[in-house]
Structure 1
Amino acid sequence: MKKLYEILLGRSLLFIILIFTVSILGVYTFLTIEQREIPETEVNLVNVTTAWPGADKSDMETNVTNIIESELFNVEDIEDVSSVSQDDISVITLQLSDDGNPDDVLNDVNNVVSGIASDLPENAAEPEVESLSNNFPLLSYQVHSEDVQNLDGIRDDLEKLEQEVTQMDGVDSVTLKGYEDYKYEIQLDWDALAENQLNPNEIMNEIEQSLNPVILGQDTEDDETVRLSFQDQKPLEVLEQVRVGTDDIPLDEVAEVSEVHEQPEDIVEYEGEPAVSFTVFLAAGEDVPSVSRKVESIMDDSFEGLSDNITVDNISSERENVEDIFVGLYISLAIALLAVIVGTSLGLSWFGSITVMITVFLSVLIGLAPIPWMGVDLNQISVIGLIIALGILVDDSIVVNDNIERRFTVGDNKLDAVYNGVREVAPSVIASTLAIVFTFSPLLLLSGANGDFIKALPSILISTMIVSTVLALTFVPAVRYLIVRKKAPKHPGIIGKAFTWGSNVYADKLLPKIIKRPLLAFLTVLIIAVLSVGLIRFTPFEFFPEADRSEVTVDLIFEEGQTIEKTHEDAQDVLSYMLGEMEHVESASLFTGDGLPNLFGASLEQSGPNTAQIALQIDKEQMSASETIDEYENAVREAFPKATVFMETIIQGPPASAPITVEIFEDDLETLNNKVTDLTETLEADGAIVTSNIGSPVRTMNYSIDYGALEENDVSVSQVKNELNMISEGIPIQEIIVDGDSRETNLKYSDEYTIDNVDIVKTGEGEPETYPLSDFVNIEETEDTTSIQHSNGERTAELQVYSDDEETVNRTIEEFSSNLDETTELTVGGESSDQADFFIEIGILFSVILVLVYLVIAIEFNSVVMPLITVFSIFLAFSGGIIGLFVTQTPISFLGIMGMVSLSGIVVRNAVVLIDFIEARRKAGRFDIYQAIFESGRVRFKPIALTTLTSILALVPVALSGDVLFEPLAVTVIAGLAFSTILSLIATPALYYLYYRVRYRK
């Protein structure tokens, strides 16, 4: 080993140049890596959608959903299968397992669906398979005007802009909301048809024939190929020439071609004016600022040409959010870097401090190089990871540098000082680094959205820690060998004398007292730590905090079956009330129907004509988003009791489910609906707010054919079905193209004709016979839900429950569950359950972490007992973290828990190096056990105190930044480090001495 070091040290300058050259990769990575506000999370979902016009939900379930589901269960790497069967459509959603390959699963699903397409009903469309992407809103504009006709006038321009932006690199898709689509209806006059003895089928066939293209192909004249083409009139002009029946009756004598509005999916309003929402979504793995600037340039140029009566407002810019956040984070990073410089200079010589800082800086840069290949981008979590890394990385360099300086002080020559200085601390440095790597590695296995959210933190720390250790053992000695100071300072550092004084006090006064009564010292520390853990009961809890943002969203759910126009009127009333009560609202958007285009973290579980969302921009200086919700949510609910109202703001974390979800499994639909109704009413009686994925029952008119009457009158069932189609939605025919826009077209009777004034016409040899359509159709008015839900093939319904008294809700659900029949199954989940699952998972991972740390230290010391001494410092850090959160009343949160886990690897370093020094001196034989402990304390006090102080200084800016997401992590690590360092300086030597006495019977 010494020979290798001689070779390395002999080429110190070349090695240093090599390290600086490699660091350029880190600089390039930092400048080019994608920037985002929050980590990108994968959405491993695949949808299989099948349309079957005219089918009701039961037929759709039996003949489409069940058939496709049964085959999809055989596809590997699918974790969950859910479906919804509604009138006319079936949607099956597949959730992939975390270790599944999305491309492979998508290919397998396509193969399965293609193979069973022939088993589906003849009139059903071919199933469409689509992989759902995690669309991230990049920019959103509201284009608004006093007159909706002004917006209609720029529709073509916006649709062309939509196509242009969609094709840009880095853009996933564009959503244009607020425009109504049009279709053509050919409305037949039933009386005119009867008078002229015509039927709808004749007219439909004639229209289809008239609109069909003419295929002429090509001709040959005198060995020359002649291209043949046909120039037709516009479709509407063609329809004017259509003649029907044997008497060639003009179509316009028996029908009217009308342009009508389709049922709108959205109605958008901004600041009380009709609006169109234009939202751009970022593609996966793209950089927010660079893509946003390119899109903004195109958008600005396009909007400049709009008339003065149209206004465009940007209501959401992810680039601005990212830049604002990163400015704050970079300031914290710069302050942390400055704090580390100051911290190291307190106890190291200027030369030593500069060496350590250069090493830390290079560790960060080189450690960043592999980050993109680990699936990590530059976001809030990764930058915080860098700040934490700065505080940890100094440890290796400080320990190595300090020990090299110590060897110079005792008189070693240049080579021996460097070599011996590294050799003495290398085992403990490597072991403690492995402990940190093993601490953070299990966090990469954290499942689901929580795992995706936190992945950047362990990735950054693992990468930079490995590089830091390598550089501490190679780069630091190379620098110290290349540049040797003639005389090592006796008390290096700005407060070097204070550290020397502290080392002497610790070694000469405190340690003798600890060793004199080791059991008492240990029990005192243990009691303090145990009592500190009890403070967790008096510490607030908040899994993911609300962001300090100016957006508040309001979800509105009205009565099932309500038209979108009625919902929009009701939502306008709610908005007017809120604007009158809330003086700090700066602007407001209203989206009726499908709701917001995934803006501000808001989404509707079940959207439709009866739902709406309001997006409020508030002046958070007057009142924060959370204060706004607390003050006004109940007031709005009381003012509009017929609406289900939820006010929310952006949460700094993965999307959360309802606090409590209840899933009821029952094969019989009527029983299932009854159970849902009973439980909903029971929970609402307790004051809870309940929504359901199947919705509440709506007024339903059930039509059925009297087959006995058909047989009696010798009328075909097809005639009855055709007439029912004609008086309702009509029969689709060829689309009509107008000004390049393809519009749906259907054939139906005029609205004046109903089941009561339409007859079945039966032709024969004599005069046609007519029978009232109502003679063959039975109508029954009932109430029914609009969909049938499946979970893994079983019929189910899910309730989302919101209540301030979750204990009462859970008790009510438990009582309800105990009275269910054997055929009905009930399961409880939700955000509370998800959090419980997270704590179980993190508990398992933490156990794995403890085992891995234990094994590393056990191998280092070749002992099965000694690792327990170092692992005790983890408990001390945990206790200290709780004290910090309690004193500052900072909520225990997801990142607070991550701080606890982070401490597990950080704090064992001090104990490992301290015990390693004691063992080395004891085994050398030059010291008895007391001298070994005292001298090790003298040597290790300054590095331990210095690294702890430096780590704390690096995190203080984050703790004081007011960032509600990262404050719990910073507070936890700062308090845990301080508490553990102080008490482990007492507990570690006491435990070691007790171990020594038992082990060697002395």
Structure 2
Amino acid sequence: MKLVNTSVKRPVGVIMIVLAIIALGVVSVRNLTIDLFPKIELPVAVVATNYGDAAPQEVENLISKPIESSVSSVEGIETVQSQSQAGSSLVMMMFNNGVDLDQAMIDVRESIDQVKGMLPEEAGDPSVLRFSPDQMPVMWVGLTGDDAATLTQVAEDQIVPFFERQGGVASVTVEGAKEREIQLILNQAELKQYGVSAQTIVQSLNNSNQSASAGVVKKGNKDLQLRVTGEFESVDAIKQTIVQTPSGATIHIDDIAQVKDTYKEESTKTLVNSEPAIVLSIMKKTDANTVEVAENINQGMTEIEGEIPSDVNLKTIIDTSEFVKMSINSVVQNIIIGGIISIFILLLFLKSIRATIVIGLSIPIAIISTFALMYFTGETLNVLTLGGLALGIGMMVDSSIVILENIYSYRKNGYSLVESATKGASELAPAVIASTTTTLVVFLPIVYVEGIASDLFTPLALAVSFSLIASLVVAVTLVPMLSSKLLSKAMEEDGRRYWFDRLLGRVNNGYRSVLKWVLGHRKTTVGGTILAIIASLALTPMIGAEFIPSSDQGQMEISVEAPPGSTLDYTNQIVGQINDELKEYESVIETSYVSVGGGGFGMMGSSSNQATFTMQLIPSTERSKTTKDIVQEINSDIEHIPGADITVSAVSSGMSTGDPIQIQLNGPEHQVLRELAGTIVDRISEVDGVYNPTSAAEQGVPQMTIAVNEEKAAMHGLTQQQIISQIQLQFTGQVATKYREAGHEMNVTMMFPENERSTISDLQNMKITSQNGASIPLESVAAFKQVEGPVVLLRENQQPQMNVTSDVVDRDLASVVTDIEAELEAMNLPEGYSYEIGGQAQDMAESFTDLSIALIFSIFLVYAVMAVQFENFLFPFIIMFSLPATVVGVMTGLFITDLPLSIPAFIGIIMLAGIVVNNSIVLVDYINILRRKGMDRYEAILSAGPSRLRPILMTTLTTILAMIPLALALGEGAEMQQPLAVTIIFGLGISSIFTLLLIPVVYTLLDDLTGKITRRKRKAK
């Protein structure tokens, strides 16, 4: 090949190019974005809307349904889901893959603008957001001190603006802050005495709290802008606001209300290490580097600590970059270990430091070149791209080994160094290019796989491909060049025989004997292979399947759900009991952050009956127990606490895609769905492996329904809307105007004293003011009934929905789903009602289907590449017989290591389709070379097999042993690559044995068949 000749004759040019690539790679790796996982762009948009304290039914009818109808016409939408709960609505739009999400977001916003006028006045403006896993906070920072008001002021005035100025920070959210509010506590007796209504007060406050421009006047040669200032400048000004009574008298606000400068009633509480605190959650920009943002915040904390009051303490609660750095470091460590193992194997086989250096150079050059290519293609440095390098590190030297071995053969036959390098590299360069290309083409279909499997593993495929392309270029240029300059002594035999040579000699002789036997017992060999494949497939039910392995990142979560309707104080009491139990674990819990009353989803309203603990454990190297062990111990200690459902769980590596099992029930009536959901929970509870099945229908929120009698109300000149607004004012309050002070804006809220809005009797005895000023009891125009209302109302594609969810323990996901589907099929659902399996089970099924198609196309592409290379349809077909034998290794490996089939394992199978044929290509190609030189077929096989055994052993061992650190899941975050590594190790190992024995047998069988067909054609002629 000309490329080989050029590299041998012009070594200086090759060296300069290599140095330039190294320099480019070093610069690139410094600028690569570091993150835990590749960026996942989910085609999902979210519309979030708040609606006071409205019940879920009103939220659904007045907010969710109009928004659903409006956005359903947006082009490219696949599914519209809505979630209506007390005070808030969340509408999610899932778009088809390939939709331009930027344009879709514009279309959604236009649709929302058209429907805004139809929403209730009390509803907040809908927020249209793009949903992405990257929207999770990078860090949580706790602010503790004695005075919550001071903490709030320090957070809002100093810390938040400072943090938002740091590089890469998108926004900082404050949780647990005190919200200042001017409260007007109305006196019912005074209101009645003066005959003043709430509307009159609101009108008076707004009329007195205005500023406006009034034109210009001339003063000399200047125009003066006229501005009438009338905004409240102090709380006293609010108190002195004049209110006109119906009789014409004037009174002040403080005559009919107590004006309090105070804080809004708490709807949530936050605790850090059991102490009240304010928590700041820090979000990074989409293209920002997680590690860099965290470092900027940590440096900023050191800087600002000297500027805040001494009694205010700033402390990092959770820093997600720590796990990112540990995971990246563990993968880098695995790369280094794998590289050392590969170098050791090379040294063992080559017996020469110089020869080892020649081949070993391909590893760092391939890695550095890969960094440069990753930078220019916009990939990030994450666990999966680095994992791709760790997986490919053993394969990087394969091409170089084959080339060097052939150069060595020519040198032994008496050729000069330059001739050996030129002829040896040129002869096998086509086979090496073909074998590398077969490995590369298997990744092409993965690029076209949709969904999370593509988002996660396309970067891995690119990393492996880049490294293999770089190593191929090194093999056909740098290796021949260095061989011609450095290996004069390395290739000289000194007559001594090392122990490893003697071992290889025995292996070679043994292989030759076995090869003779299988060539003489061809039917037995083929039959034994088929039986082995069938036996391995029989292991499938015992292996099972899951979606994606979870990583242990030392984080755990405790979810607390008190009975619906529970007060914040009641939930906080349960949190206190849990904190008491957690004192025993202070030695392993680094930080503990509790949100009491949080809604759990950043855009949803608060729920006073819920609380969430988020705990960061000390590093795994400093504790003797795993996170799962600690989770089980804590669960056993706190499960006896009465009054709430408490769930303890380990936080996965951020790759969670929902509950493992999610049964989506659809039908026309919410009530029927609630009943069906309860039945399903009971039935699937009996399925082995199902853990904690729950349904939103299991408990209802206690509600007091108020049915207004319109005829009785009309007799008093009242409408239903007027009665509702008066009830809302008494029990919720009403924002009358805004008050600005020192750059801060706060609500001026009218409300009644707490002792007049606390009990059912307060509601029943409430006085409703009619148009003529008369007061009547509410119970005279309304009926009261206490019922159980739904906690959340779900809809999908404008139809009611109810979900039943469950975790899976001690069993694989696929087997549990199969048993659940059998239970559901046995149920007779009413007409019009149906179910679907969602969650991780659905994602797994869809990903497996897509990857199966990708595997089929990969195998076809491998065959096509070999057919082009050999210019023959038969030889590629012979080589492809190494693929079925891979099943034996894959199934055996997963069974022995007790790992279920997962997305990473499936990716490993696809990679194997390109890897396992490499040895066959080299073997068949060399058999053909020997036959073209005039050697008999039988002798050619017996000569080529032992001759290629050494490079096949070297390439196989370097690939397999370099992946052992990944297969052992050493270090943080290595669980993701473990199934992939195990699949390749066992698949390649077993397949290599079949390659050395089965492929020669298949070669002879097909050669005989071809000969018979050719003879028949000749006779026919």
TM-score, length-scaled by structure 1: 0.90
Deviation string for 1:562-596 (max 9, x for gaps)?
Answer: 12221111122133234358975565332212278
The 1:111/1:751 distance shift into structure 2, 3 A limit, reads same
SS in 1 for 2:393: helix
The separation in 1 between residues aligned to 2:985 and 2:202, in whole angstroms, is: 78
* Pick aligned residue for 1:793 from 776, 798, 802: 798
* Pick aligned residue for 2:283 from 281, 284, 307: 281
- Count matched residues: 988
Deviation string for 1:394-437 (max 9, x for gaps)?
Answer: 11111122222323333445665444323322332222112111
SS in 2 for 1:154: helix
* Partner of residue 346, structure 1: 348
- 1:726-737 to structure 2, matched below 5 A, reads 726-737=729-740
2:991 is aligned with 1:989: no
The AA in structure 1 aligned to 2:375 is P
* Partner of residue 210, structure 1: 208
* Pick aligned residue for 1:557 from 548, 552, 561: 561
Contact 2:274 2:579 in 1 (8 A): no
1:835 offset after TM fit, Å?
2.9
1:511 offset after TM fit, Å?
2.8
Contact 1:679 1:816 in 2 (8 A): no
* Partner of residue 162, structure 1: 160
The separation in 2 between residues aligned to 1:797 and 1:225, in whole angstroms, is: 66
* Partner of residue 974, structure 1: 985
The 1:555/1:851 distance shift into structure 2, 3 A limit, reads same
The AA in structure 1 aligned to 2:802 is A
1:556 offset after TM fit, Å?
1.5
The separation in 1 between residues aligned to 2:181 and 2:272, in whole angstroms, is: 27
The 1:811/1:952 distance shift into structure 2, 3 A limit, reads closer
The separation in 1 between residues aligned to 2:324 and 2:72, in whole angstroms, is: 42
Contact 1:556 1:643 in 2 (8 A): yes
The 1:56/1:29 distance shift into structure 2, 3 A limit, reads same
The AA in structure 1 aligned to 2:919 is N
SS in 2 for 1:355: helix
SS in 2 for 1:113: helix
* Partner of residue 601, structure 1: none
SS in 1 for 2:396: helix
The 1:491/1:73 distance shift into structure 2, 3 A limit, reads farther
Contact 2:354 2:486 in 1 (8 A): no
SS in 2 for 1:895: helix
The 1:864/1:644 distance shift into structure 2, 3 A limit, reads farther
Deviation string for 1:627-686 (max 9, x for gaps)?
Answer: 12334425533x035422222213246104223212121222333333334444665698
The separation in 1 between residues aligned to 2:831 and 2:659, in whole angstroms, is: 27
* Partner of residue 958, structure 1: 966
* Partner of residue 827, structure 1: 836
The separation in 2 between residues aligned to 1:62 and 1:852, in whole angstroms, is: 54
Deviation string for 1:713-759 (max 9, x for gaps)?
Answer: 44455543442233222332212224432222222444455454454
* Pick aligned residue for 2:405 from 402, 405, 411: 402
SS in 2 for 1:49: strand
- 1:771-810 to structure 2, matched below 5 A, reads 771-802=776-807, 810=819
- 1:175-574 to structure 2, matched below 5 A, reads 175-229=173-227, 234-244=233-243, 245=245, 246-259=248-261, 261-305=263-307, 309-348=311-350, 349-412=352-415, 417-481=420-484, 485=488, 488-490=491-493, 497-498=501-502, 501=505, 505=509, 508-535=512-539, 544-574=548-578
SS in 2 for 1:274: strand
1:911 offset after TM fit, Å?
0.5
Contact 2:594 2:612 in 1 (8 A): yes
Q: Which moved more, 1:493-502 or 1:550-559?
A: 493-502
The separation in 1 between residues aligned to 2:719 and 2:318, in whole angstroms, is: 58
The 1:895/1:196 distance shift into structure 2, 3 A limit, reads same
The 1:465/1:208 distance shift into structure 2, 3 A limit, reads same
Q: Which runs of no fewer than 5 residues in structure 1 stay unpaired?
A: 599-603
The separation in 1 between residues aligned to 2:818 and 2:1003, in whole angstroms, is: 52
* Partner of residue 708, structure 1: 711
1:220 offset after TM fit, Å?
1.1
The separation in 2 between residues aligned to 1:116 and 1:719, in whole angstroms, is: 24
Contact 1:696 1:785 in 2 (8 A): yes
The separation in 1 between residues aligned to 2:698 and 2:210, in whole angstroms, is: 43
1:164 offset after TM fit, Å?
1.9
Deviation string for 1:781-828 (max 9, x for gaps)?
Answer: 222114432112211121213465985995598358732211222223
* Partner of residue 33, structure 1: 32
The 1:96/1:265 distance shift into structure 2, 3 A limit, reads farther
* Partner of residue 937, structure 1: 945
* Partner of residue 173, structure 1: 171
The 1:648/1:89 distance shift into structure 2, 3 A limit, reads closer
The AA in structure 2 aligned to 1:952 is I
Contact 2:768 2:776 in 1 (8 A): yes
SS in 2 for 1:393: coil
Contact 1:450 1:654 in 2 (8 A): no
Contact 1:506 1:938 in 2 (8 A): no
* Partner of residue 668, structure 2: 667
Q: Which runs of no fewer than 5 residues in structure 2 stay unpaired?
A: 757-761, 1016-1021
Deviation string for 1:377-405 (max 9, x for gaps)?
Answer: 11222222112222001111111222223
The 1:87/1:658 distance shift into structure 2, 3 A limit, reads closer
* Pick aligned residue for 1:845 from 851, 854, 865: 854
Deviation string for 1:261-284 (max 9, x for gaps)?
Answer: 435343122333212222323322
Q: Which moved more, 1:421-430 or 1:290-299?
A: 421-430
Contact 1:544 1:652 in 2 (8 A): no
Deviation string for 1:166-189 (max 9, x for gaps)?
Answer: 232211222322223243332322
The 1:942/1:729 distance shift into structure 2, 3 A limit, reads same
The separation in 2 between residues aligned to 1:62 and 1:789, in whole angstroms, is: 12
1:762 offset after TM fit, Å?
4.9
The AA in structure 2 aligned to 1:936 is A
The AA in structure 2 aligned to 1:676 is A
Q: Which moved more, 1:803-812 or 1:304-313?
A: 803-812
The AA in structure 2 aligned to 1:650 is V
SS in 2 for 1:391: coil
SS in 2 for 1:22: helix
The separation in 1 between residues aligned to 2:585 and 2:968, in whole angstroms, is: 34
The 1:825/1:503 distance shift into structure 2, 3 A limit, reads closer
2:694 is aligned with 1:691: yes
The AA in structure 2 aligned to 1:169 is G
* Partner of residue 99, structure 1: 98
SS in 2 for 1:561: coil
The separation in 2 between residues aligned to 1:783 and 1:491, in whole angstroms, is: 92
1:847 offset after TM fit, Å?
2.2
1:860 offset after TM fit, Å?
3.0
* Partner of residue 41, structure 2: 42
* Partner of residue 1019, structure 2: none
SS in 2 for 1:485: coil
1:699 offset after TM fit, Å?
1.4
SS in 1 for 2:305: helix
TM-score, length-scaled by structure 2: 0.89
1:521 offset after TM fit, Å?
2.8
Q: Which moved more, 1:545-554 or 1:685-694?
A: 685-694
The separation in 2 between residues aligned to 1:65 and 1:288, in whole angstroms, is: 35
The AA in structure 1 aligned to 2:990 is F
